[in-house]
Structure 1
């Protein structure tokens, strides 16, 4: 289950979201050529990724920021940029360009700090924009809990798109990160669940002042939990591929 789009176009061009996406893609392309060289990529991670044991020694504080612009592969990058594209524009619309940029960086740094606290002596490098984007998702949950988000559910060969309220999708996502964090070993590598959970909580907390300035619960009443813009409606386009009817085979006799 993962989101593919929301029904809430922003009221103005989300320049910062686009710049962040371009920065993540551009930086990834700058080093993707050395990812097959274990020695070179290990040295690159040592310099720019978040390594908890290094932070514990009072070194590499800048990696709380630099690590959020690095990714471990194409699918890691594409998945993060999809989530940023879906949720970032509406949050930027409410916070303003500069406020949103500061929010994104602080939420990402807070996510990295939570990951450090979960395993302060780990030497496993942490990379990815997931923590900062989790913060954006936390802000989206607080500001627009009833906004419609289309999710794609894939079960073996069955797949279908369902529009659901944002709070359901985001609450399920957060629960999965929390459960994953409890059941994982941060020293073993893999998904940085605590960074995701920490970024999400940081995003909610950092957004509370903006939410209160808009009236808190009365803001939800005025907007019905949706971004203050006309909702987009999508229709599925009927396939132009002709259907070929199956021929009914005649039953064969015992002589065949």
Structure 2
């Protein structure tokens, strides 16, 4: 796996929607109950119960999305013995709306930072190409497609589905369609974080291939903990939605200077 850090693809306008999405995700995460203690290394059963109750209310649940079967007993946020107390919900949950709220929830700092890094690097160019309003709609459509796509393959699951990665996967799919030749600076962990500048089609194509393999359960032991199928569906949705914009998309600038960690040779023109 490679870690993208920057793309060589300047924008014409400030990506206000991308910045707003990043800010909203960070703000929501900071105020999620039960996570502040875990960040400080002081988690407790009470905090875990508060978090479970919060996720049950605001996270998307595949069985609720497909069958509209809402849970009769949910965590109340209180501790009972060695576990969390259950009781009838004191709220009315909308499965459709839960997909929206779930897109702003994350299970930890690594989950959040990884998603926001990809959104920051690739979202600005897609917003620049689509415009602010269309990009916001595109982001939400990809997020909904990813959540419902995952739910179709896991219709009886009651595990909460959270995170912006489905919507961000749509952004990556759109970037692959619109800017396949753009260069992306990446760090390669198994090469002691050697910086390389690679074409976007290679970086994003490799990322998608990994998600497709992992979604089948191959190569990972925690396939059930990460919604890889949602990444695959979101990515494909982003590609399809961005395809009509491809003919009018100007190519990214030809990069100069360092290439694959070394300085490129100057080209002579005649």
The TM-score normalised by the length of structure 2 is 0.77
- Tell me how many residue pairs correspond in the alignment: 224
SS at match of 2:150: helix
1:170 aligns with 2:204: yes
CA distance in 1, matches of 2:136, 2:185: 26
CA distance in 1, matches of 2:4, 2:246: 24
CA distance in 1, matches of 2:174, 2:121: 13
Could you say which residue in structure 1 is the equivalent of 2:31?
Answer: 30
Matched-pair contact (CA < 8 Å) for 1:34–1:40:
no
Give CA deviations for 1:49-108 in whole Å, capped at 9, x if unaligned. Answer: 111112233251111111111100001000100000000000000000000000000001
Matched-pair contact (CA < 8 Å) for 2:65–2:148:
no
Structure with higher Rg: it is: 1
Shift of 1:159: 2.5
Shift of 1:33: 3.1
1:158 to 182, 192, 199: 192
Could you say which residue in structure 2 is the equivalent of 1:253?
Answer: none
Could you say which residue in structure 2 is the equivalent of 1:248?
Answer: none
Matched-pair contact (CA < 8 Å) for 2:214–2:223:
no
Q: How do 1:109-128 and structure 2 match up within 5 A?
A: 109-128=144-163
Query: Which structure has the highest helix share of the two?
Result: 1
CA distance in 1, matches of 2:215, 2:55: 23
- Structure 1 unaligned blocks of 5 or more: 237-256
Could you say which residue in structure 1 is the equivalent of 2:54?
Answer: 44
Matched-pair contact (CA < 8 Å) for 1:9–1:90:
yes
Q: How do 1:50-129 and structure 2 match up within 5 A?
A: 50-58=60-68, 60-129=95-164
- Structure 2 unaligned blocks of 5 or more: 69-93, 262-270
Shift of 1:146: 0.3
Query: Which structure has the highest strand share of the two?
Result: 2
Gap change, CA 1:42 and 1:167, over 3 Å in 2: same
